[in-house]
Amino acid sequence: MAAIESMIPIKDEAGTLSRSSSHGSNANLELQHDGEGLEYRMQSVDKTVKKPISLWHDVSLVHLDPKTEGPTPYLNFVCEIPKFSRKKYEIATDEVGNPIKQDEKKGTLREFKKGDIFFNYGCLPRTWEDPTFIHPDAEGCRGDNDPLDVCDIGLKVIQPGDVRPVKVLGILCMIDEGEADWKVVVIDAEDAWAPLLNDIDDVAKLLPGTLEAIREWFRTYKIPDGKPPNVFGLDEKFMDKKYAIDIIKECNHAWKELITGEKERELASQDEGVKELVRKLSKSNLLDLAPEEAAPTPMYANDQCDDEAPCF
């Protein structure tokens, strides 16, 4: 019998900063496409007011029921790369509005030379892997300066720019060219397997080989580019849901520091490379952010936390 899913209440995610355009689901969102090739951009737009929104900053971390606007037990997953495809789409974290674009290197659009990816790949909104922070389990490596990566193992192909409710199952610590690059494993809340999968051990038991295949994908996908295999922390183990939630909390807290400018004010002890990374993100993302004049209100009425319902 499937375990009862615990709620994940969350207070106003930016502390003293409140965003009037926050979206808890994809209910009022649509995508606009502009340009071609290197100039192609996919922008999420609020259908009600016809204004662009950031899939990184304007979508809540916790999924809200589109009918009641109340919190659900799920988190929001922003898909960037659909399963069974290879074009390397990503949120443009250093562009105002954070549209989705196809990554490029030296003027060439990037694809996975290894071949099609076999899971939906994207990120958690309102998270940031802080390049000034070294997690004790990350082999002495700093964060990779991006939102927290997500691998959705559900059956459905999710399109780029779609926002889906997902269940967190576990996490893998990948070390990518000297940077910590966590991979959160989730399943779509509406997937047929979702009621049976509540933690990482359920995946290993009911879907044998899935986790090993994910790890080997990330280990080898850069080899066709002439790079060495990636390595992993924590003895290459997938950690459980509780551990994953702790990492998500850390990355949500880091996002708050970035978006409020607090992180940029704390850069004195960092090297110039790290300072430039943070300043570039802060400059682009704070252009369209402004604190509300009124005092912010909690996102949810129930902002009490307990062991079964962690707060972010």
Q: Is 295 helix (H, G, I), strand (E, B) or coil?
A: coil
Could you tell me if 110 and 163 are in contact, meaning their C-beta atoms sit under 8 angstroms apart? Answer: no
Tens digit of each residue's pLDDT, the chain (312 residues): 344 444 444 343 433 334 446 899 999 999 999 999 999 999 999 999 999 999 999 999 999 999 999 999 999 999 999 999 999 999 999 998 999 999 999 999 999 999 999 999 999 999 999 999 999 999 999 999 999 999 999 999 999 999 999 999 999 999 999 999 999 999 999 999 999 999 999 999 999 999 999 999 999 999 999 999 999 999 999 999 999 999 999 999 999 999 888 877 777 767 777 767 676 676 556 545 444 333 333 333 333 343 343 456
| pTM score | 0.86
The per-residue pLDDT for 22 is 83
Pull the structure tokens for residue 107.
């003027």
Rounded to the nearest 10°, the torsion over CA 9, 15, 21, 27 is -10
Q: Label residue 289 exposed, middle or buried (CB < 10 Å: 0-12, 13-18, 19+).
A: middle
| Three-state SS annotation for 220-244 | HCCHHHCCCCCEECHHHCEECHHHH
The per-residue pLDDT for 263 is 78
For residue 164, what are the contacts with CB-CB under 8 A and spacing of at least 6?
26, 76, 77, 79, 152, 158, 188, 189
Could you tell me if 53 and 46 are in contact, meaning their C-beta atoms sit under 8 angstroms apart? Answer: yes
Pull the structure tokens for residue 111.
């694809």
Pull the structure tokens for residue 103.
């990554």
The per-residue pLDDT for 4 is 40
